[in-house]
Structure 1
Amino acid sequence: MNLKLYILIFLFSFALFGASVDSLKIKLKSVEGIKRIEILNELAFNLWEENSTEAYQYAVEARDLSSKLSYRKGLAWAYNNIGLTNLKANKNKEAYSFLQKGLKIFTALKDTNGIATCYDNIGDTHRFRGSIDSALYYYKLSLPLFKKMGDRKGEAMAYSSIGLMYWRKGLNNEALNNFYISYVIRKELGLKLETAMSLNNIGTIYWRYANYEKALESYSESLRLREEINDEKGQIVSGSNIGLIFHKMKNYDKAETLYRTALSRSEKINFTFGKAYANHNLGLLFLDKKDYDRSIVFSKEAVKYYYDIHELNAVAHSLSYIGSAYAGKGDDQKAAEYFNAAIDTALKADDKFSLAITYQSFAKLNINRGETNEAEKYLQKAYEIAVKENLAELITEHFLNYSNLLQKKGDIAGAYNYYKKYIEAKDNLRLEQMNNDITNWQIKYETDKKESENQKLREENILKQTQFENQRNLNNLLFVILIVGVLTFAISILYIRLKRKTQQKIIEQKNELELLNKELALKNENLKEANHSKDKLFSIISHDLRSPFQSIIGLSDILHSERDKLTKEEISEFAGSINRSSKNLLTLTNNILEWSKMQLNKISVDKKELKLNEIFEQVILAYYPQASEKKITLEIISGKELKLISDVHLLSTVLRNLINNSIKFSKPGGRVKLGAVLKADFVDIFVEDNGIGLNEDDLPKIFDIKQNFSSAGTNNERGTGLGLIICKEFVETLNGKIIVKSKLGEGARFTVSIPLE
């Protein structure tokens, strides 16, 4: 069910008009021939999303007139625009046919812009049909063409589309990389609307990673940009997306308030997609709360609105929710009726991804009804689609569903084997994402290192060229001296003056060369320091990251080889240890990546007004599950509302590391406090625990990277020792300071003092 919800986050997009439609219509009345064709095509392109019927009429007239005048470029653009209008009407096959006609002409004309545009639009036809790999193929074809033309807006669009396809395939890391590149380009171009859309996409990936703090940060920034440009529709969608975070965290009251606000605002401006999206989310919310009657009401409203805007894949999702609600009520006949309707709709939309998800939902109903043969049939259909489209998350979900099916049949051994496949596939996805993060950092490091080496070579070449030029000048000067020697005394005087000037110039060049040599020496020192940092990182990777992996592998080997001999309690204990090692591994990786940014000087400060209590709540919320697992109480020492001007990312990172550190070194039943005290122009933020504390001799070591100081937590949690080093560097970047007071066995208190402005 969660996968269905992910799809809808990406359904909303906006089109910008290249020129005023009204002004183009006025111009159209007074032009003929090729100029008329160009205006007809521009009108069709500007209108195809807002009014596809009118756009189709303009595109058909452009096609007929281009054929009459043998204007091939105009004919190609007309085919492209007819394809877009068919795409809007969910006539994907017709759209594909017209776009291919346009592409054929553009290719013959060697029109790079037209070819890139058709590739992108053909990719959309495959995307709406659910043919993910085909869509990805065409989007990748369009990207180098946009780059070749220097069309950075088109380049950003291609990266965004490629990211969307990776996201649909469950390859979240690749999706995030492409979304981020798109975001950077759009931000550089000052495209606030498109930047907000990229932030929305990035937030969705973090939401999928269950990193709700970063997801909220991205969604909130997207909302801020939409408010700046008075994009009310965008604000509505961003508000709904923020509601999804609270929904996922089971804060149903807050989520319902945000959904209902989005619905009310959508009804006020008659925003059809907003009404559909809000009703859809409310339907799912009440389904999760097991309030099946209200879930059915809202989901049916969503179906109605989605039909109005021809979003058939979204219709299929909402129909599936209705089926699940009826199944929850025990009305299996109604449930089957709506699941069948969802399947028919997904087939009509030719959306393989939506179809596979609906097959899985129908299979779950049949498993609960005991109709195992029917369930197996639908599971097999879903699995075939998932394998063909290489949808990693759906394949993983299949193993879990098939395990439940075999358990229902009484085949316990088979069910156990498929459950093992499910756990392995799920772990492989997580490990693949983590390995990709480390690999990407290494690639980035090596790229920066190579660029530094290339820069050094360029500087050496410049020096050599300067020396050569000086030698050549000197040779020319000697030749001039030989000629001047036979001339008059007056010319000799002129020669002497010229020689003095030349000598002065040589001295200046020598001084410049010495300065360049000093700069090169400094850069060589910096390069040595970078190599030292690299060695430090690889040492951490080879030692500290190896331990959690060894723990996971060792425990899973025992579970695999001794599964018939282990008790349920032992299996549960081993599974818990694997879970804790995996979480520890993720924390280690995040700290390594933050530290690597500091070494590459990629940390930038973006100060703005912050509400300290809000930041405290977000940090505590993020670590509540970890603290609950160790039965540790997290407490905010509330005072008056404090505001300051600072960088939210740097400050949040410091507080997360300090809270994580206190939980790590606190015993079960312990208490961690987070609070702040206002002092003149500074605010003192403190994190205090009653854990195991530190030896006084160890206090100076914890902030010094050269000491390589690290110790295990109360549950033998491992770390790299980078967390507190990151805290110190980030605090100093904010013009503050960090101090620690601790005694062995009496806990520790970290105090961060940063200026209010």
Structure 2
Amino acid sequence: MDNASKNVINTKTTGWWIMSVVVIAFLGLIAWQIWKAEQYNQALDFAKMGEHYRAEGDFQGAEKMYLKSLELFQSLDHQEEVAKQSGKMGLLYATHQDFQGAERMYLKSLENFQSLGNREGMAHQYDNLGSLSAIRGDSENAEKMFLESLAVFQDLESDEGVAKQYLNLGNIYHLMGDWQQTEEMFLKGFELYETLGNKSGVESQYNNFIAIYVKRGNWQDAGETFLRKMAMQEQDSFILSKYAHLGTFYLSYGNWQRAEQMFLKGLEIDQALDNEEGLSNYYYHLGMLYDNSGDWQRAEEMFLKGLEIDETLENKKAMAEKYANLVILYAKRGDWQRAETFFLKKMKLTSEGKASILNKYANLGDFYLEYGNDQLAEEKFLKGLEIDEALDYEEGKARHYASLGEIYAKRADVRQAEKMYLSGLKIAEALENQESMARYYAHLGVFYVNQGDDEQAEEMFIKGLDIDEFLEEQQKLVNSYNYLGTIYANRGDKEQALGMYLIALELDIDNALKIHKSEAFKFNKEDEGRILQQVKEELLKEWGFIQGERENLLNHYATLGDFYVSHDDEEPAEKMFLKGLVITEALKNQAGMSNYYTKLGKLYTNRDDLQLAVEMYLKSLEIDKALGNNSGMADKYTRIGVAYANQGDDQGAEKMFLEGLEIERLLDNKKGMARHYSNLGAIYAKRGDWQKMQDVLFQALAIDKALDNKEGMARHYGNLATLYVRVGYWQQAEAMYLKELEIYEALGNLLKHQENVANIYGNLGISYQYQGELPRAKEMFLKSLRIFEEMGNPSTKRVQMLLDVVEKQ
């Protein structure tokens, strides 16, 4: 082959080889692009799975998926997705208190967004870093980050972003105590939300303004802001009632002057509308305001005007209410004649005109006794006695003798008291009125006990016992046996005293069975009958105890009292606890006394009689101190602290909680420490001291985590969520709600916690609504609504309203 032919062949071969290389390279490029797309899609899938796990509250699952996603995006050198996933991981770490990890991820996200020149992404990461600093208590750096975020959002002309940063800065300045800048930031945010037509944002800012004004004692601006907030409802019915609401708002903060202005404004509107029922209502509000402020003349004027309208409308319920208000008012003024006049009117109205001359003076005497005017009470009873003597009405005379005997006994006029009781007894014996005789034996028995004449007291009670047993007057028998027990205890005859107390106790148990057994069958609540029977069987088993152990039976007055409390029967419960207290005092059992004082304190707390509750707790605390009962002392400090907090004495409450915390530390009682930290958090929340609130809640959370106290952890997460909502950190709030939800679902007993779960879904809905995530908000509201509907809970209406708002947006 010649050289030319060889060259041709070589040229062809070279061409085919070059073409093959190009083809291979092209095919490789396609394969690489396919691989790259697959990797990208895989990374997106991991990111979506991470988001799913985060929403479900699965931290480990979310972290694992986010890290896989981040690793793939980094290998693809996809800066934007690296920035996004880093930000999501930062949020994940922040919500699980890994603040160092959160900061690392936020900074990484920020760095990538800066490299890309993505200013919106930068603004969001500055926001996240500011929130993180605020949570960690670094207000200075938080301010710096929020200002950076604000500047970027302003450049981008993002009104929503700008408004959010004004809110963040307002909260930071609030934490720093800079009221002027706080108000300035909130005002700027408010103006933007108004421009945007963001009603939820506007309402949130109104709440912020109210909190600031209340904190500064600026009640005028607080009230006006409250009025503007309420006016957003744009309801006709609100126009008629808004001044009543506003007046009540001022009253709740003790601003009588502004409250009066609002009630008068409402009165003026109802006068123009000729709304008589509304007028009566405003006269009542004004009457109560003037009464509470000591302006009794104007209070009288208001009550009388309201009464005149009620009489015209023939509104008997309202008339009786006004009569009662006037009776109390005149009694406080010492105007007994007018008080008596309206008392008789009320008595006639409520008894439908059946009151007669025969019981008029007895009722009036009882009225004066109720208001502490023994002198006028005596006059009325004596007048009634005079009439009964003239009419030869023996039963009426006996009744008046008993009442007069009580007055003279109270005055320590021993001779007159005994004379009245014996006179009444004589009539009862002449009439052979067994019930009346037993009543006088009881009166005389108590009288002689108080005089220290145990012998005559014993005689009276024993006589009364015979009659009460015949009449089957169980409660009177109980009282007599208890008094006899006290008489024998005073004599030092402990065995006989215990015998009387135990008979009384058995009667009390039988009485409880009679009261609640039928109720148990009626409602088919087998556990009620079972519990009752259990109580009695437990006692009966112990009847055979040896002498030294029989005293333990007396603790069952606490059991019996608790039983009544569980049935919402407070009156007999109080009687049981008081009996237990009297017996333990007679037997000089200090530990028992402390227990009954505590029981009574709890009962009075449930009644909202906080002053009396505190009195009981303080007596119990004094005994516990003397006994060196540290756990008892810690418990009382908690209860007294809660009572003080409910009375508005936050300083006193804080002192009690701190005292209790110190004792729990000495006892190394972790659960008690967590409880006190939580209570302190509530106090700091009321003060608006968010940093302290966060600190103590994190301490409580750490303890309950160590104890694996799921319900305690859930409660703390809920409180932290409330804190973050209050300062506008919606993402952190969302995370706390999700952690709370995760715990309740993990506990398994959703029936027990279903109201909590429904509330969490509702709160999550509000959180997503504020963040503009309306589909997720709707989803949460629907879940909340479904649970409340199944429960038949009245919160259904509130959630439905929230859902309606979201659907309209």
User: What's the TM-score, normalizing by structure 1?
Assistant: 0.31
Q: Higher RCO, 1 or 2 (CA under 8 Å, sep at least 6)?
A: 1
Higher strand residue share? 1
